[in-house]
Structure 1
Amino acid sequence: MNIFTKNSLLIGIITSILVVGCGGPPQNNPLLTNAEQAYQKAEKDSMVVLKAPVALKEAEEALEQSQQIWKEKGDEDLVEHYAYIAQQKTKIAQETAKLNAAQDAVERAEAERKQVLLEARRADAIAAERRAENAMSQLEQERKEAERARKEASELADRLSEMEARQSERGMVLTLSDVLFDFDSSNLKSGANRVVSELANFLREYPDRTVQIEGFTDSVGSAEYNKDLSQRRADALQQALIQAGIAGNRIKTIGYGEEYPVATNMNEAGRQQNRRVEIIISDKNGVVSQRTE
């Protein structure tokens, strides 16, 4: 082998060594590249940054460790190991962010639900308070009405007592003897003016009351005549009240004649009791119970 050939061979060996020595490791590692891309995507996601900062920091640390080993041309297995860890930590950060966001949404919904319940309870409480106030107002109104009714009943009783009315099953009854009329006549005597005046004043004081005037006679004479006489006497008293200013529709008259005696007709004392006019005062609704006996 000549010198030229030897030199060429030497140059070739040296060139090969130089090429190998200057090339170094490959320019990138696919696993590390994927880990870097995944982290960059997560780092730009505001939800991940806000909701999973710790997990994202752990992914960053693992990625930096992989990058450092790569730069230092260290063990490729370690590069890929930490790149894998970084990639998994990034996924964990993303999932943690989703979980925390969902948990926050649940907490917000729960807070809103509690607020709605609180407002509903408050509304119920207000409604209940108003119902209680209305009930109290109603009770107070009823109490006042009862007090007015009691007072009115007391005043009515006193007024009727002054008129010498008596209580009966049909209500208060004012009995007038036949001394208000001439014998065998339906003409009112002058002494009846006081009774008419008192009765008219009473009806003016209690405009919701009406009266029913019932005429009665003894058994002397025919039943037909007595019935007519009792009716005329009741009508005479009605006309006197109308002249005193009482509306005619508040005064009803009935002539019973010799029916419903209150004493015997066998003597004058009994017959005098049977010759009478009864005035029945209505209830507060203007109703007079009908006679049954």
Structure 2
Amino acid sequence: MKRSYSVLLTAAVAGLLAACSSTPERVEELEVARAIVPQVEASPRAGVAATNVSEARKSLDRANKLADSGGKIGDIQFEAQVASRNAQIANEKILAAQAQEEIEKGNAERQAVLVEAREAEARQRAQQAQSAQEQAQLAEQRATTLEQELAELKAKKTDRGMVLTLGDVLFDTGLATLKPGAYATIDRLAAVLKEAPDRKVTIEGHTDSVGSEDFNQGLSERRAAAVQTALLERGVRSDQITALGKGEAFPIASNDDAAGRQRNRRVEMIFTDNQSQVASDVN
């Protein structure tokens, strides 16, 4: 098979990340999107992923407009991330189309060999066709997985990025030990992180205002650490996870009633990677 088109995307992203490291005023996600979206648009096979290419361009245009007008960094990042994810999906579809072309080419060559009664060469062509078919299937599976992941994103967009909130039902009151029922959620989160080694997650523990400030700070740290430990036990790399305790300092509801306090007792997970910020709904 010809050299994978994804190599161009990888090189473009690597170069931009190196450049962004010396220019902190630039929005890294936007620079990445500006590199990879034109790459897929320029592909001679872009038509096989027309919808994703179009969505990538629309999101990039919105991100550029926000950047030019001084929009919020979080909004710019979000649009740039959507553009990059759609560009990735388009790239996988392009790879699948390229692999399919290789299959068809291999089949035609194999028929010619059979006509010429060259049995040995015919077997070799069949093996090449099988290999190309397997690569096509893998490329199609990757494209499908990315498509589903993008469609299923239900995390809340905030100024900090895409945030998944886990309520206090994961823990007993005042304790930091995960309940058995929490592990289905943890298993799914671990699978998402292991699938994409460049994906990072920041785990933030939060409490209500009941009890002393020192106790709440410690409790929030222990709860964040408990989620971190559970992910590590399931094979997630330590450099993918950061755990922080925020105590009672960042309520999202009033602490004057039980419903508000329950909302404030939470663990927030902020998912990021080199190209996008993502999270999956695990409810």
TM-score range, shorter chain: 0.3 to 0.5
Name the structure, 1 or 2, with higher relative contact order (CA <8 Å, separation 6+). Answer: 2
State the structure with more CA Rg. Answer: 1
**TM-score of the superposition, structure 1-length normalised?**
0.46
**TM-score of the superposition, structure 2-length normalised?**
0.48
